[in-house]
A and B are shown apart, each in its own frame.
Chain A
Amino acid sequence: MSGGARLENANPLIFQRTGERLQTANDEDEDVADPIDDREIFDLIRSINDPEHPLSLEELNVVEQVRVRVDDQENIVGVEFTPTIPHCSMATLIGLSIKVKLLRSLPERFKIDAHITPGTHASEDAVNKQLADKERVAAALENSQLLEVVNQCLISNARTG
């Protein structure tokens, strides 16, 4: 972030981070299969960096565990995200980051859907449409400038780890 740049929302609300998932005895048992659950998906996306702030999407409450739905049997993952302000220009970028992170981290069998929490953004439909369009997502990732910003959101950060 450049030193003098003005932020759209310089002083956002911040929320607490969830702790690490507690390990259970089952987690260490070779023979027990652990299904992919909501928390696991949430753990993948909660540490994504916000494009503007040195904060994670979780700390800004852009993603919440209750807005993650996964069906391991049916191979479906759905994530709703909530921009911090209704006119946030970064909404598409955030959605793209979530989508890319999940594409890279989940088995291919899953169909991944990321969209804006209904009623929380001015151009909700337009953004959702872009995110749902496979070809437009692929094309966006061909654009090296866009890919650069997405990658920067995905770089693991000691702070949000």
Chain B
Amino acid sequence: MMAADSALLLGLVEEFVLGQQDRKAVDTATELKAGQFTILQLVEALGLHLTSSQPQTRGRGVQLLSNVLQECYGDLTEREVKVLIVFYENRLKDHYVITPHVIQGLKALTKCSVLPPGSAVSILKSLFQDIHVQSLMLAERSCVYNILIQLMESRESELKGLGADFVFGFVQSVDGERDPRNLLLAFHIARKIVHEGYDLGKFTEELFEVTSCYFPIDFSPPANDPHGITQEELVLALRVVLTGTPRFAEFLLPLIIEKLDSDVQSAKLDSLQTLTACASVYEHKDLAQFLPGLWASLRREVFQTASERVESAGLAAVGTLTACLSRSVLNSDSEDSLNVFLELVLKDCQHHLCEPDLKLVWPSAKLLQATSTASYRASHRVAAAVLPSLIEQYNSRTQCAQRRTLLEVLQGFVHPVTSSEEDESVLLDFRQSLCSIVFSALSESNADLQITSMRLLTALGQQTGLLLESDVELAVDHLTRLILEEGDPKVSLAVVECAGALARLHPAAFISKMVPRLKEEIFSEPMAQGDSATPSREHSQQAVRQRCVAALAAVSSRPSLVQESTPVLLQVLTSAHTGTGAFSLEEVISVCHSLQKIAEQAQDTEETGGVFHDVIPRLLGLALQAALQGSSGHCSPILEETVLSAMVPIISTTCARLQSRLAGQTASLAVSLFLDGDVSFLPENAFPTQIQLLKVRFQCWSQSQMVCLLMGCVCWLPRTVEVPQMDRLLLELEELSCTCDHPLSYTSAAKCYAGLVNKSPAGEVLDSLIDRTLKRISTELDSASSPVRTQAFTLLLWVSKALLLRYHPLSTALTDKLFSLLSDPELGWLAADGFSLLMSDSPDVLNRGSHADVRIMYRQRFFTENSAKLVEGFNAAVQEKKSGYLKALSHIVNNLPRQVQLTELPALLPLLLEALSCPDQGVQVSTLSCLQPVLLDPPSALITQLEVLVGRTLALTTSPTMKVRIASLRCIHALSRFPEHEIMPFRARVLRALAAPLDDHKRVVRSEAAVARNEWFLLGSPGGR
């Protein structure tokens, strides 16, 4: 070493050790890395200090060396490491003040890739021998655990060579650990020991003891805990250890039985979940001797618990236990433990099934079902024991409530399909009895029995071989009868569900039996003319037809059924149009809903696509006929806005799913109809040739409103499909939307325009199009006398949305225009409400279903870019205009994702609180509904404003508007979940104030008030919360 370097080194050492300058350690490491001296030279330079008689000085010396090692352990040679290890191992025997530094140094050394063979073992031996880990401080204990983890990762085979001594050393080191951070490390080590095949030798029980003493974990992190360790994390880390090896079974299972007795619910849950976890790795012999004890505890938990979580955890454990026992391979001399267990379960549960009125019938059924779903063998055994008596009871009991309970219990045994493909259903033996029960219950007049039996029927239908063809036909007859005869809405819903499920599996019976019968009913003439056709009877006939229509939709999932049902529904529309059938407007609309439902649920095949593709020309043809007929003579219901709006989703759902060939064809047909009046593709073509649907003519809204159907078609096609004559189409749509005075027409034209613009490729063409439109809009809006300002505004709103969704750079120009309209005397209010439309999903256009270009973060982005403008605008506005800004703001904030709401709330809170005292009731409702979800998980910003928040919200509980009263009471309710110490001061005031809405004249308000007030009463009261 050069003299100068030597002086440098000695200087650094002096300054660190005697000068107590900690940063010299970094300098030393830097110089060492720069090659100014070697590590061994550093040791030599430290020589005097390391042998000093003062422990503090020796400690300081070791500390310097350890600090340097932490920086440059990667540069050491094997020889150097060897020397250093010997040195450090020796130091472990030194004075206790030095130990922390020694451990730090060893930790650095264990990270060396050139750790010489044998040194891992020797380091551990020294550590275990010379250190009592639990007398160290937190950080040093953590260091020791990290050394173990490091060596387990890099020197696994050497450590395993240490045999059970390693486990013993670990057990000794960890015994008594209390810090959650260190426990996570310790559990990690234990997990590796258990899972990676370390030899536990005779220390199995010790290892179990030293970890299981923490079970069940009871840890509540301190408030503002910076380490973020949760109870859940510890629970899972420990569970992996305890359930890691069947060798723990003999210790763990008694422990679980003991802890299940606990009064603490989390302890019960943890025990049950641990049991579930271990039963999935254990074998039957590990469990056998504990089965009676486990069963007694599990039964007690499921029978007596007040908590659904405990119950379901208990059932899960029973299921896993059964599955585990079912996996066992039997020896000739061993007992079948599955049978032993099932005998226990059956003995305690079976007899409760004979008391269908009593409470325990349910938990017993659930327990038995949990075992029977666990394995094929178990389901066989349980079914054989339980089903005959359930069936016998059903047939002998007469009370409806009892029979219903029995049916529900039976259904629970049919529902689970666990048998593998080859195994035939365990229920095959009971097939006939089950079917006859179902059919007899379906014939009862009791609604509950009917509903439950349909669920059972559905369940039977899902399993192969349980329903014969003749059974399906009988079932379809029953279902058809119920549709025609049963008016109870709950029954109707159940019929529709059951029919839908069965039709998917057995379409033939529905085609041959149900569809023709329903069709017949739909088109049947009103029963009798004259005095017998009372209004109530007419009403009931309508109700029957509605049910038939709904049922047709429900069964139409297979192409073969769609092919049968769709023509029936279309025929209803046609005859409603021509006026031959007496169909009400509601019926026509519900037929449209049914067609939409078919379009939604039809499996996307070439075949159904084809069937449904024909629906579009049929609908367009009908609408056109109605439009041309105008108001002359019979007024077709198809002209009604409600009917047209119900037809749009049929077309749009279909178009969105068309495959590209059909889609392109549909697009060009629709466009040529609307632009050129080409009617050649429409069915029953008897139309005049001079049709111009998009042209505005006086009093011709019946034609122009058809543009909503165009929107449903062209705006929903997949983006790959090119819409022909786009430029002309856009031009005419713009014209229609800006000049027409019929709201449905100009709004639909604006939506259609926006839907197309959203999907247009970016570039100059689009930019100049938008420029042109914006100019036109501005001209109209800027002229106060223009008669079409509302139209221009509507177009502006929809185009803004179209561009905003796709992050188009020009969207800002449009939305700025919207902001400026907030102070417009005429349109201000509309503009404020427009922000709701801008920020929420529209069902009929510009949504993901229509393949629109929607960027996921557009709401946040809009908010971030514009919230300042709103706040500025609010501050600058004159008093009477302020509420428009508040309304816009509450709409925007209302639609933001919750996470964003929470982060933005502190900045917005003053404005939102302001909005609560804004006299406009719309603003109040919107603000309250925006605050309410935030209140459920209050950010701290809210807590500082509690006084104002509580005051203003309470004031609104007596608002003249019912919606405001309800919304404010919900907020008050949510406030009761705030941290108790924050809201206790308000308790008396809230309870007093809520006495008034308890006597509200509206029942809905009273019940919200009662719920909120009861929660506030429980607050801070013993046994409350």
- Listed in ascending order, the chain A residues whose CB lies under 8 Å from chain B are 1-4, 7, 10-14, 16, 23, 27-28, 30, 33-34, 36, 40, 43-44, 49, 53-55, 101, 104-109, 144-145, 147-152, 154-156, 158-159
* Assembled-state Cα–Cα distance A10/B1006 (Å): 36
* Assembled-state Cα–Cα distance A16/B1024 (Å): 27
Contacts of A109 in B (CB 8 A): 999
Is A149 touching B1023 in the complex (CB atoms < 8 A)? Answer: yes
* Assembled-state Cα–Cα distance A151/B1016 (Å): 12
Is B357 touching A4 in the complex (CB atoms < 8 A)? Answer: no
Contact of A11 among B355, B962, B1006 (CB under 8 A): B355
Contacts of A33 in B (CB 8 A): 1001-1002
User: How far apart are A121's CB and chain B's nearest CB, in angstroms?
Assistant: 20
Is A108 touching B995 in the complex (CB atoms < 8 A)? Answer: yes
Q: Is B262 an interface residue (CB 8 A)?
A: yes
Interface string of B281-300 (1 = CB under 8 A from A): 00000000000000000001
**29 pairs, A vs B, C-beta closer than 8 Å:** A1-B304, A1-B306, A2-B263, A3-B260, A3-B262, A7-B304, A10-B360, A11-B355, A11-B358, A11-B359, A11-B360, A12-B358, A13-B359, A27-B1002, A30-B961, A34-B1002, A34-B1003, A36-B1006, A40-B1003, A53-B306, A54-B305, A105-B1013, A106-B998, A107-B998, A144-B1022, A147-B1022, A150-B1023, A152-B1023, A158-B308
Q: Is B842 an interface residue (CB 8 A)?
A: no
* Assembled-state Cα–Cα distance A34/B1000 (Å): 9
Nearest B residue (CB) for A105: B1010
Q: Contacts A53-B306, A55-B359, A148-B1022 known; list 10 others, CB within 8 Å.
A: A3-B301, A3-B304, A4-B261, A10-B303, A13-B357, A13-B359, A27-B1003, A34-B1002, A105-B998, A109-B999
Is A147 touching B307 in the complex (CB atoms < 8 A)? Answer: no
User: How far apart are B126's CB and chain A's nearest CB, in angstroms?
Assistant: 48
Contacts of B1017 in A (CB 8 A): 104, 154
User: How far apart are B949's CB and chain A's nearest CB, in angstroms?
Assistant: 23
* Assembled-state Cα–Cα distance A109/B1010 (Å): 15
B1003-1018 residues with Cβ-Cβ distance < 8 A to A are 1003-1004, 1006-1007, 1010-1011, 1013-1015, 1017-1018
Contacts of B1024 in A (CB 8 A): 151, 155
Is A145 touching B1022 in the complex (CB atoms < 8 A)? Answer: yes
Contacts of A14 in B (CB 8 A): 357-359, 362
Is A53 touching B1001 in the complex (CB atoms < 8 A)? Answer: no
User: How far apart are B998's CB and chain A's nearest CB, in angstroms?
Assistant: 5
Contacts of A147 in B (CB 8 A): 1021-1023
Is B359 touching A12 in the complex (CB atoms < 8 A)? Answer: yes
Contacts of A16 in B (CB 8 A): 401
Q: Is B352 an interface residue (CB 8 A)?
A: yes
Contacts of A11 in B (CB 8 A): 352, 355, 358-360
Is A30 touching B998 in the complex (CB atoms < 8 A)? Answer: no
* Assembled-state Cα–Cα distance A82/B995 (Å): 30
Is B263 touching A54 in the complex (CB atoms < 8 A)? Answer: no
The 9 closest A-B pairs by CB, nearest first: A148-B1023, A54-B306, A107-B999, A151-B1023, A105-B1010, A148-B1022, A34-B1003, A33-B1001, A144-B1022
Contact of B308 among A30, A36, A150, A159 (CB under 8 A): A159
* Assembled-state Cα–Cα distance A31/B352 (Å): 53
Most chain B C-beta atoms within 10 Å of own C-beta, residue among A1, A28, A105, A156 = A105
Is A30 touching B962 in the complex (CB atoms < 8 A)? Answer: yes
User: How far apart are A80's CB and chain B's nearest CB, in angstroms?
Assistant: 21
Is B261 touching A3 in the complex (CB atoms < 8 A)? Answer: yes
Contacts of A55 in B (CB 8 A): 359
Contacts of A12 in B (CB 8 A): 358-359
A-B contact count (CB 8 A): 103
Contacts of A44 in B (CB 8 A): 1010
Contact of B359 among A53, A105, A145, A155 (CB under 8 A): A53
Nearest B residue (CB) for A53: B359
User: How far apart are B309's CB and chain A's nearest CB, in angstroms?
Assistant: 10
Contacts of A10 in B (CB 8 A): 303-304, 360
* Assembled-state Cα–Cα distance A4/B306 (Å): 14
Nearest A residue (CB) for B963: A30
* Assembled-state Cα–Cα distance A151/B1010 (Å): 15
* Assembled-state Cα–Cα distance A109/B1013 (Å): 17
User: How far apart are B450's CB and chain A's nearest CB, in angstroms?
Assistant: 15
Is A30 touching B1002 in the complex (CB atoms < 8 A)? Answer: yes
Contact of A27 among B301, B306, B999, B1004 (CB under 8 A): B1004
Is B358 touching A155 in the complex (CB atoms < 8 A)? Answer: no
* Assembled-state Cα–Cα distance A7/B360 (Å): 13
Contacts of B263 in A (CB 8 A): 2-3
User: How far apart are A57's CB and chain B's nearest CB, in angstroms?
Assistant: 14
Interface string of B957-968 (1 = CB under 8 A from A): 000011000000
* Assembled-state Cα–Cα distance A155/B358 (Å): 25
Contacts of A101 in B (CB 8 A): 1014
User: How far apart are A69's CB and chain B's nearest CB, in angstroms?
Assistant: 18
Most chain A C-beta atoms within 10 Å of own C-beta, residue among B360, B995, B1023, B1025 = B1023
Contacts of B355 in A (CB 8 A): 11
* Assembled-state Cα–Cα distance A23/B1018 (Å): 28
Most chain A C-beta atoms within 10 Å of own C-beta, residue among B962, B999, B1015, B1022 = B1022
Most chain A C-beta atoms within 10 Å of own C-beta, residue among B401, B995, B1004, B1021 = B1021
Nearest B residue (CB) for A147: B1022
* Assembled-state Cα–Cα distance A156/B1003 (Å): 20
* Assembled-state Cα–Cα distance A13/B962 (Å): 41
User: How far apart are A67's CB and chain B's nearest CB, in angstroms?
Assistant: 19
**Contacts A11-B358, A156-B1014 given; does A34 touch B1023 at CB 8 Å:** no
Contacts of A155 in B (CB 8 A): 1018, 1023-1025
Contacts of B301 in A (CB 8 A): 3
Contacts of B401 in A (CB 8 A): 16
Contacts of B357 in A (CB 8 A): 13-14
* Assembled-state Cα–Cα distance A106/B355 (Å): 39
Contacts of A30 in B (CB 8 A): 961-962, 1002
Contact of A104 among B307, B352, B1014 (CB under 8 A): B1014
User: How far apart are B1006's CB and chain A's nearest CB, in angstroms?
Assistant: 7
Is B1022 touching A151 in the complex (CB atoms < 8 A)? Answer: yes
Is A154 touching B1018 in the complex (CB atoms < 8 A)? Answer: yes
Nearest B residue (CB) for A44: B1010
Nearest A residue (CB) for B360: A11
Contacts of B1023 in A (CB 8 A): 147-152, 155
User: How far apart are A157's CB and chain B's nearest CB, in angstroms?
Assistant: 8
User: How far apart are A84's CB and chain B's nearest CB, in angstroms?
Assistant: 10
* Assembled-state Cα–Cα distance A33/B300 (Å): 50
* Assembled-state Cα–Cα distance A144/B1022 (Å): 6
Contacts of B1004 in A (CB 8 A): 23, 27-28
Contacts of B1003 in A (CB 8 A): 27, 34, 36, 40
User: How far apart are A138's CB and chain B's nearest CB, in angstroms?
Assistant: 15
Contact of B1021 among A2, A13, A28, A151 (CB under 8 A): A151
Contacts of B1013 in A (CB 8 A): 104-105
Contacts of B352 in A (CB 8 A): 11
User: How far apart are B522's CB and chain A's nearest CB, in angstroms?
Assistant: 28
Is A34 touching B1001 in the complex (CB atoms < 8 A)? Answer: yes
* Assembled-state Cα–Cα distance A2/B305 (Å): 9
Nearest B residue (CB) for A152: B1023
Interface string of B328-364 (1 = CB under 8 A from A): 0000000000000000000000001001011110100
Contacts of B1007 in A (CB 8 A): 40, 43
Contacts of B1011 in A (CB 8 A): 156
Contacts of B307 in A (CB 8 A): 54
User: How far apart are B989's CB and chain A's nearest CB, in angstroms?
Assistant: 16
B789-805 residues with Cβ-Cβ distance < 8 A to A are none
Contacts of A159 in B (CB 8 A): 308
* Assembled-state Cα–Cα distance A159/B309 (Å): 11
User: How far apart are B127's CB and chain A's nearest CB, in angstroms?
Assistant: 43
Nearest B residue (CB) for A59: B359
* Assembled-state Cα–Cα distance A49/B1018 (Å): 15
User: How far apart are A90's CB and chain B's nearest CB, in angstroms?
Assistant: 15
* Assembled-state Cα–Cα distance A10/B305 (Å): 12
User: How far apart are B1024's CB and chain A's nearest CB, in angstroms?
Assistant: 5
